[in-house]
Structure 1
Amino acid sequence: MLKVDETALVIIDVQGKLAKIMHQSGEMLRNLERLIKGAQLLDIPILWLEQYPKGLGPTAEEIKQHLTDNSPIDKMAFSACKSDTFQEELKKLERKSMLVAGIETHICVYQTVSELLNLGKEVEVVVDCVSSRTLANKEIGLDKMKSLGASVTSVEMVLFELMGTAEHSKFREISKLIK
């Protein structure tokens, strides 16, 4: 079970026009907004990445508007773990559990998850917050990550798991996000 004080959220490359052409992009972006707001309510730290922003553009405005307390970490390698800045931020957080969301499932998300697992992190991929241009590539990426030892979850499942009880001080606010 995930614990608030042991968990961080990693958002990968939800950028520009690319974000708009993902399979079921509207649903993915709405779910990602819910996840970010929930993480913020629960004080879960967020690491936010952008792949080659000069070429792919900035993070989609729907997402960026909720990340005002963060700055994106630029990267060129597909895996976030190849970024020295990401590695430094990851070490500062001292979190063992990583929630991972973003695009594309079969490329940057997959490679990041693979390396996070190699670093000894427990990784949960938020399935309704990842996508690829095709459903087939999303499914292939998810299957490979599961075969490596990553778990899968959903926005609703993870937020309620992190709260653990309806008596949690943020229960009403989180419940409103889900509805």
Structure 2
Amino acid sequence: MASPAPQRRFQNPALFICDIQEKFRSAIFEFDKVVLTTSKMLRACAALQIPVYVTTQNRARLGDTVAELQAQLQEGGGRLVRANTDKTRFSMWIPAVTSQLAETETKKKSEIVIVGIEAHICVTQTALDALAAGYSVYVLADGVSSCNRDEVGVALARLRAAGAVVTTSESWIYECLGDAAAAEFKTIVGLVKETGRDTKAALEGLLSPRI
């Protein structure tokens, strides 16, 4: 009997990128590490064909998504971007996003993974709204930050208590894939190896010693 085809652990994942904008570059603790992790996640999403949802907060005043991520969003990953919208509400849980999210769903709601800023404001409110709507929510500890470093640990503890899973980018990517027999496995292994230094820098900058 033939072996069953490999199944991903996550059947309907989605990446939320929250407000990683130019004006925050000098204000957010370890901002460059958030960008590194988000870039890796975009590459993983391209390999795994995972839809991406992007927001900016008051773009006219705070600027667009940072240039290095814009390049990825406009190139190969552009076909995966389901929403790229500006907002005034702190939460990403707005009709421009949720309407597109609903279109990707059949019997199972999306497993939402969140990166961005600020951890204790927009990321927290997005996660809480998604949890309240019945979604599985993952927050990447190596992909979120705030202006004040100490806010981040408090926010992550609150989100854990609310039911979100706090994890890391590499852990989430492999959990999403779920099986070394998957066709995308070699691509993901290559990505993880290629971004190894960036991953280490993000972990050391954003997690140690608060998590």
Normalised to the residue count of structure 2, the TM-score between the two structures is 0.79
Change (3 A) 1:41 1:143: same
Identify the residue that residue 130 of structure 1 maps to in structure 2: 144
Identify the residue that residue 166 of structure 1 maps to in structure 2: 180
SS at match of 2:64: coil
Aligned counterpart in structure 2 of residue 67 of structure 1, from 59, 67, 73:
73
Q: Tell me the CA shift for residue 49 of structure 1.
A: 0.8
Residues of 2 paired with 1:149 and 1:178: CA distance? 28
Identify the residue that residue 100 of structure 2 maps to in structure 1: 89
Segment drifting more, 112-121 vs 24-33: 24-33
Equivalent residues of 1:5, 1:44 under 8 A apart? no
Identify the residue that residue 29 of structure 1 maps to in structure 2: 35
SS at match of 1:66: helix
SS at match of 2:54: strand
Residues of 2 paired with 1:4 and 1:61: CA distance? 30
Q: Residue type of the partner of 2:60? A: K
SS at match of 2:32: helix
Aligned counterpart in structure 1 of residue 156 of structure 2, from 137, 142, 147:
142
Matched, 1:156 2:170: yes
Change (3 A) 1:8 1:42: same
User: What RMSD over aligned residues (CA atoms) do the two structures have, in Å?
Assistant: 1.5
Q: Tell me the CA shift for residue 96 of structure 1.
A: 2.7
Equivalent residues of 2:10, 2:111 under 8 A apart? no
Aligned counterpart in structure 2 of residue 14 of structure 1, from 1, 7, 20:
20
Identify the residue that residue 55 of structure 2 maps to in structure 1: 49
In the TM superposition, 1:93-108 aligns within 5 A as: 93-94=104-105, 95-108=109-122
Q: Tell me the CA shift for residue 20 of structure 1.
A: 4.1
Residues of 2 paired with 1:19 and 1:13: CA distance? 11
Larger Rg: 2
Calculate percent identity across the aligned residue pairs.
29
Equivalent residues of 2:142, 2:169 under 8 A apart? yes
Residues of 2 paired with 1:85 and 1:26: CA distance? 28
Segment drifting more, 68-77 vs 110-119: 68-77
Q: Tell me the CA shift for residue 87 of structure 1.
A: 2.0
Matched, 1:80 2:92: yes
Q: Tell me the CA shift for residue 166 of structure 1.
A: 2.2
Tell me the matched-pair count.
177
Q: Tell me the CA shift for residue 55 of structure 1.
A: 0.8
Normalised to the residue count of structure 1, the TM-score between the two structures is 0.92
Segment drifting more, 134-143 vs 49-58: 134-143
SS at match of 2:73: coil
Structure 1 residues without counterparts, runs of 5 or longer: none
Structure 2 residues without counterparts, runs of 5 or longer: 1-7, 194-211
